[in-house]
Amino acid sequence: MSKEITSRAQDYAQWYNDLVIKGGLADYSAVRGCMVIKPYGFALWENMQAGLDRMFKDTGHVNAYFPLFIPKSFLSKEAAHVEGFAKECAVVTHYRLKNDPNGGGVVVDPEAKLEEELIIRPTSETIIWNTYKDWIQSYRDLPLLINQWCNVVRWEMRTRLFLRTAEFLWQEGHTAHSTKEEAVAEAEKMLDVYATFVEEFMAVPVIRGIKTISERFAGAEDTYCIEALMQDGKALQAGTSHFLGQNFAKAFDVKFLNKENQLEHVWATSWGVSTRLVGALVMAHSDDQGLILPPKIAPLQVVIVPVYKGDEKKAEINAKAKEIMNQLKNLGVRVKFDDNDNNRPGWKFAEYEMKGVPVRLALGARDMEKNVIEVARRDTKEKKVVSLDGIAQYVEGLLLDIQHGLFNKAKAYRDAHITQASNWDEFEKLLDEKGGFISAHWDGTAETEATIKEKTKATVRCIPLNNPKEDGKCILTGKPSTQRVLFARAY
Amino acid sequence: MSKEITSRAQDYAQWYNDLVIKGGLADYSAVRGCMVIKPYGFALWENMQAGLDRMFKDTGHVNAYFPLFIPKSFLSKEAAHVEGFAKECAVVTHYRLKNDPNGGGVVVDPEAKLEEELIIRPTSETIIWNTYKDWIQSYRDLPLLINQWCNVVRWEMRTRLFLRTAEFLWQEGHTAHSTKEEAVAEAEKMLDVYATFVEEFMAVPVIRGIKTISERFAGAEDTYCIEALMQDGKALQAGTSHFLGQNFAKAFDVKFLNKENQLEHVWATSWGVSTRLVGALVMAHSDDQGLILPPKIAPLQVVIVPVYKGDEKKAEINAKAKEIMNQLKNLGVRVKFDDNDNNRPGWKFAEYEMKGVPVRLALGARDMEKNVIEVARRDTKEKKVVSLDGIAQYVEGLLLDIQHGLFNKAKAYRDAHITQASNWDEFEKLLDEKGGFISAHWDGTAETEATIKEKTKATVRCIPLNNPKEDGKCILTGKPSTQRVLFARAY
């Protein structure tokens, strides 16, 4: 099976698609731009959800659920928001079908036209702030720290499995605060939660930064982001956290009585990560043989494959394998003993390699005699013969090693791909020949940003948090600049 | 706050609505027929999800995700299915908005009309079986045991919070099998899972049965169901599990090569429960003072309220309360210490009574002196002064008592409300004066069923599993019958 994967060198985009489809993560669907998330891919997402949800709750947030539909007029209430989101979206205009009088199956019933069209939520600020209006009267009702796990739809023209689909799954946090300082602190705290999750669970290093005005969320005062680097040198925005100021409170007239008994508009944040993270995970670690998944979120952490020679010692091998499986389960390890007789060991090795299972144990008759087992780690492909005594503890330690090893490898690659450019030629050359983040001076204007994007497809990914000040000249215009920013081509 | 709840005797429907809204479970939204599930209500749903999801996985199922949209033509492929589901649904006809040239906000862009309309899934058999076609070739690919947690939309004309809303959350299992026997066994197994969950977690007794042809799921060969009884004597269908035969496999041309190398159509089941369960839970146990929630799924199981007299012993009370809280947490109990100074103890008592927290502990200065604490259980309103020594274990046992007590109370009520009727007058009188399930003979025809429904609003809720055979005469037509069935008015 692994032979069928296109190599990264040959066609990176096709390599990615091969991994997603042949690794059993997702599939195309009959609906344009929508994907089916297959059980193995969904298990990955469930592990991400579990990790994030725990972190959200540990920071005082609760979950709730708001309607899928947004009345069309709501989108128009926040001027910047409507520009950003009202364009490519799914519009519900009718609420009934009827039998075709001409016998052609079912047709839309023209008499069941909605008075006001409903938009499938592309993001839920508007419907949520319309609701918060009823929930917030006094400073005692604040803060509201609410998150929602749901599906959203953005009618993208060019879609790619996980990275950009018309429908996707995500979480969106929407918080309400009595002061600007508290809201800004919340937006920063959630960026921190995202960065910690992506680095510690997904083993993907990220740069924390702030977006330029042109790259801001439509309706935000500031957009914080985490940016990751993929193996082809392109950046990927892995999560965003927005300080929304009082924009949505003003649009939906949400005020509260402060401690001084005065009416004020409420301060807001919103923040989200999506199934896009699955795409980022695939691209960050995998190789030409298949997926490489970090142990902390791998659906399956260890697989035990028995290697029989006919029926020789089959019962003993099975008994020992089950014993190891139970020891690992007791340590909380997600483990499978694959004794399916329909497939040969070689086929299984390739299959679990493709699926990115971090550790593979192979146990045969001769191993039993010597009281050893073969341990193969997916990330480095290193194989080792290890004593069966204390094997569960050994594997537990190995899973941690793999988790750290993946992060360190990705970080070394990322760090080696942040390069300073001091003039335009260098900038273009770096983009084309090396890729990665390019640290360069920029005059701070949207015009220059747009021109650079037009010329090179590179955008300002972010202004890193705590960015050092440094006098310099914009690489495009030569105008004065006070700091370097990070440019890259991006997903 | 509890004073504002309408009593059951006065207006049962209003009592239910008061509980849902004032108990903080849900709220109406700006979108017709859609509700907002508030954090407290969502926490209840999360606990239900966690319990069910564990049971699904323990029985070999995995989760996946299929598109929100169903191409209109898919609905027409299964003849019965389209009759049942294609009528009241949300139809997406366009994929873009544009600025109104006349300055009226945004309008639907007539140029962005979809070639084929998309329906928001009312249930996902069609899109899933269209996908299974690509996943199933041989008997080796079977069974497929897949579940999905998602939102669905049915454009209901009359909606009620949780019980019937245009959009609701649910899970839908969709399994594929190589034999009829295996599929039937699966449908029965999942009915069993539902019954176990509803009885053991929700403390609501259910009758397991099978639907009559007229009440079957559109496209099923058999619909199994669990039926619960509410306090007003009306029945509520709490979950259904369908044996779909080969109907969807034929509609979507899904065949597999069996072990004899012959092509056969695949056998199917589907099964689902929804946020409707939250409504059932509210109506099954609660009283005129507020919600009563069973400990196993209550978001909060225990609340500790300190009762200060000025600052006397405040520090000691707080320290002791926190100690008890930590002891309970160590036992896995969901507990809150409410030391909010803004509200008085009496207000808190009423609030947690309204919210149905199973156990309330109140600790004051005099209790501290006597080394005791006041324990109040929500279900019976019994209050007891208990020694502080071993209080955590005492509370742990009490939670179990409450769980069983609620089930037993609901079961006694339910059992007392299954009444045999031997003629039409008795049948009508029982329906109007006593309510509950009425066990009566029926001639087995859809016509009689429809006439009974028209005359009394009562329907055949189910033919109980393992129903004893008994010769008799139909209460309406007097025609011969071989068994009694259960009638009731229902939600």
- pLDDT (tens digit per residue) in B295-337: 999 999 999 999 998 887 899 999 999 999 999 999 999 999 9
Q: What is the pLDDT of residue A327?
A: 97
CA distance B64 to B146: 7
**Mean predicted lDDT score pLDDT of chain A:** 96
Classify residue A3 by burial, with Cβ atoms within 10 Å: 0-12, 13-18, 19+. exposed
Which chain A residues have a beta carbon less than 8 Å from that of B70?
31
Which residue in chain B has the smallest CA separation from A275?
B65
Average pLDDT over residues A389-414: 98
Q: How confident is the model at residue A1 (pLDDT cuts 50, 70, 90)?
A: very low
Q: What is the pLDDT of residue B1?
A: 43
Q: What is the pLDDT of residue B436?
A: 98
Cα angle value B400/B401/B407 (rounded, 5°): 95
**Element spanning A461, H or E:** strand A459-464
- DSSP-derived pairing of the beta strands B484-488 and B235-245: unpaired
What chain A holds in terms of domains, given with CATH numbers, is 2-91+120-285 (3.30.930.10), 302-405 (3.40.50.800), 418-488 (3.30.110.30)
Q: How confident is the model at residue A3 (pLDDT cuts 50, 70, 90)?
A: low
Chain B nearest C-alpha distance from A174 (Å): 13
Interface test with A, best of B48, B53, B66 (most A CBs within 10 A): B66
Q: What is the pLDDT of residue A2?
A: 45
Which chain A residues have a beta carbon less than 8 Å from that of B351?
none
Give percent of chain A above pLDDT 90. 92
**Is residue B120 within 8 Å of B153, Cβ to Cβ?**
yes
Coil, helix or strand at residue A329: helix
Taking chain A, what is the end-to-end CA distance rounded to the nearest angstrom? 28
CB contact (8 A) between residue B64 and residue A146: no
For residue B306, cis peptide bond before it (omega within 30 degrees of 0): no
Biggest distance spanned by C-alpha atoms of chain A: 84
Q: How confident is the model at residue A273 (pLDDT cuts 50, 70, 90)?
A: very high
**Element spanning A271, H or E:** strand A267-274
**Element spanning A368, H or E:** helix A365-370
How many CB atoms neighbour CB B142 within 10 A? 21
Classify residue B400 by burial, with Cβ atoms within 10 Å: 0-12, 13-18, 19+. exposed
**Element spanning B70, H or E:** strand B69-71
CB contact (8 A) between residue B29 and residue A72: no
What are the tens digits of pLDDT across the range A328-378? 999 999 999 999 988 999 999 999 999 999 999 999 999 999 999 999 999
**Is residue B225 within 8 Å of B210, Cβ to Cβ?**
yes
Coil, helix or strand at residue B26: strand
Which chain A residues have a beta carbon less than 8 Å from that of B90?
69, 92, 94-95, 118
**Is residue B462 within 8 Å of B453, Cβ to Cβ?**
no
- DSSP-derived pairing of the beta strands A62-63 and A144-153: parallel
CA distance B407 to A484: 66
Q: How confident is the model at residue B140 (pLDDT cuts 50, 70, 90)?
A: very high
**Is residue A486 within 8 Å of A418, Cβ to Cβ?**
yes
CB pairs under 8 A between A and B: 190
Which of A63, A67, A91 has the CB atom closest to B29's CB atom? A67
For residue A143, cis peptide bond before it (omega within 30 degrees of 0): yes
CA distance B386 to B366: 13
Q: What is the pLDDT of residue A108?
A: 93
Residue found by looking up tokens 């199994």 in the block: B224
Which of B65, B94, B127 has the CB atom closest to A93's CB atom? B94
Q: How confident is the model at residue B3 (pLDDT cuts 50, 70, 90)?
A: low
What are the tens digits of pLDDT across the range A120-138? 999 999 999 999 999 999 9
The DSSP code for A261 is S
**Is residue A437 within 8 Å of A488, Cβ to Cβ?**
yes
Q: What is the pLDDT of residue A454?
A: 97
User: What CA dihedral angle connects A231, A233, A234 and A238, to 10 degrees?
Assistant: 50
Q: Helix H segments across B290-390?
A: 314-330, 345-354, 365-370
Cα angle value B160/B166/B168 (rounded, 5°): 90
What are the tens digits of pLDDT across the range A453-482? 999 999 999 999 999 999 999 999 999 999
Which of A27, A82, A146 has the CB atom closest to B106's CB atom? A82
Which of B127, B169, B342 has the CB atom closest to A30's CB atom? B127
**Mean predicted lDDT score pLDDT of chain B:** 96
Which chain B residues have a beta carbon less than 8 Å from that of A62?
39, 42-43
pLDDT of B165 over the 50 cut: yes
What are the tens digits of pLDDT across the range B368-424? 999 999 999 999 999 999 999 999 999 999 999 999 999 999 999 999 999 999 999
**Is residue A290 within 8 Å of A3, Cβ to Cβ?**
no
Average pLDDT over residues A39-63: 98
Beta bridge partners of B199: none
Residues in chain A: 491
Which of B31, B73, B97 has the CB atom closest to A67's CB atom? B31
**HSE of B412, CA atoms in CB hemisphere, 13 A:** 6
Average pLDDT over residues B421-429: 97
CB contact (8 A) between residue A90 and residue B97: no
Residue A454 to residues A83, A124, A164, A233, B355: CA-CA distances in angstroms? 21, 31, 21, 19, 58
CA distance B177 to B184: 10
| Six-digit token string for B364 | 């004051």
Coil, helix or strand at residue A3: helix
The residue ranges of DSSP E strands in B356-458, in sequence order, are 359-364, 372-377, 383-387, 418-420, 437-441
What are the tens digits of pLDDT across the range A81-103? 787 877 899 999 999 999 888 87
Average pLDDT over residues A260-272: 97
Burial A293-306 (b: 16+ CB within 10 A, else e): bbbbbbbbbbbbbb
Q: What is the phi/psi pair of residue B152, to 5°? A: -135, 160
Q: What is the pLDDT of residue B81?
A: 78
Interface test with B, best of A95, A117, A152 (most B CBs within 10 A): A95
CA distance B124 to B147: 11
Chain A nearest C-alpha distance from B265 (Å): 21
Which residue in chain A has the smallest CA separation from B71?
A31
Q: Helix H segments across B173-258?
A: 180-200, 247-251
